[in-house]
Amino acid sequence: MKNNEKKSPNGKKARSEKPTDFFQPVEKADSFENFELNLAEMLKAGVHFGHKSSRWNPKMREYIFGVKNNIHIINLEKTVSLFQEALDFMKNTAENGGKILFVGTKPQARELIEKAANLLDMPYVKNRWLGGTFTNFSEIKRRIKYFNDQEKLSESDEIKKYTKYEQSQIRKEIARMNEKMGGIKKMEKLPQAVFLIDIKENALAVKEARNIGIPIIALTDTNTDPTLIDYPIPANDDALSSLKYILGIIVKNITKVKKIESNKKNS
């Protein structure tokens, strides 16, 4: 089933409540470096499209411009301002050597979140959020160590000491762990911040971050509660073009900061 399709109660395919033009394949979207933070670019990317007016959260009221064809339209002037605040915080975090955990588990976000995080050398979660990632990090850290140890074993001559069946089982276990923890296997300590694409889908991540005081940067669509977020970015969190635009701006800005810091160290 395509990203812009949903099943109706009778089991038949139903059209998405958001314009289908903005659910474009990743390969058709522009490269990260081509984006600029301005209203025209946001409109082009469909950042302003919210959910049906019947599916809104009243706490998003101040960020909504109006309604068109029963779809809430996000006030992009406020998005620009809040996005800049979020960027400033993220750049400052990266400038000081801090890590930001990128989380995007909905299907259309997974490839983008992985690509963005890898470009920035940041940890990421693209599949299911593991309960306790923040609140029980000591256990998560133990599991990460085991995962890394098994990977090293599979790549060393030690693996030859095992039977072919045992080697197969070890590799299958590594594949399962990679699916769950591949994006955080280098995360030796808790991150200094977390960036989330969908705070409803990743409500547990939000709860854990709030419980232990990790600052949260997140997209807040018209059906979410922005008061849960330290740095809310009112934006369409469904359309691929919107996600790529937001991540593109983040990658571009943090990359610039990291290059400056790298040049300072090398000079």
Going by C-beta distance under 8 Å and a sequence separation of 6 or more, which residues neighbour residue 257? 91, 94, 95
- Residue 259 has a pLDDT of 79
Question: Which 3 state secondary structure label does DSSP give 29?
Answer: coil
b or e along 223-240 (b: 16 or more beta carbons within 10 Å of the residue's beta carbon)? bbbbebbbbbbbbbbbbb
State the Cα–Cα distance between residues 242 and 73, nearest whole angstrom. Answer: 14
113 in Cβ contact with 106 (< 8 Å): no
Going by C-beta distance under 8 Å and a sequence separation of 6 or more, which residues neighbour residue 91? 253, 254, 257
- Residue 15 has a pLDDT of 42
Please list the rounded mean pLDDT of every run of 10 residues in the chain (267 residues): 42 45 40 81 94 92 93 96 98 95 96 95 96 96 96 93 94 95 95 97 97 98 97 96 95 89 70
Instruction: Give the dihedral of Cα atoms 219, 224, 226, 232; nearest 10 deg.
Output: 0
Kind and range of the H or E element at 77? helix 76-95
State the Cα–Cα distance between residues 214 and 175, nearest whole angstrom. Answer: 29
76 in Cβ contact with 42 (< 8 Å): yes
How crowded is residue 92: how many other Cβ atoms within 10 Å of its Cβ? 13
Give how far the C-alpha of residue 263 lies from the chain's centroid of Cα atoms, to the nearest Å.
Answer: 28
> pTM of the predicted model, to two decimals?
0.85
- Residue 107 has a pLDDT of 94
Strand partners, 151: none
- Residue 93 has a pLDDT of 97
Question: Which 3 state secondary structure label does DSSP give 219?
Answer: strand
Given phi > 0 = left and psi -120 to 50 = alpha, else beta, which region is 11? left
Q: Sign of the CA dihedral 172, 174, 176, 179?
A: negative
214 in Cβ contact with 234 (< 8 Å): no
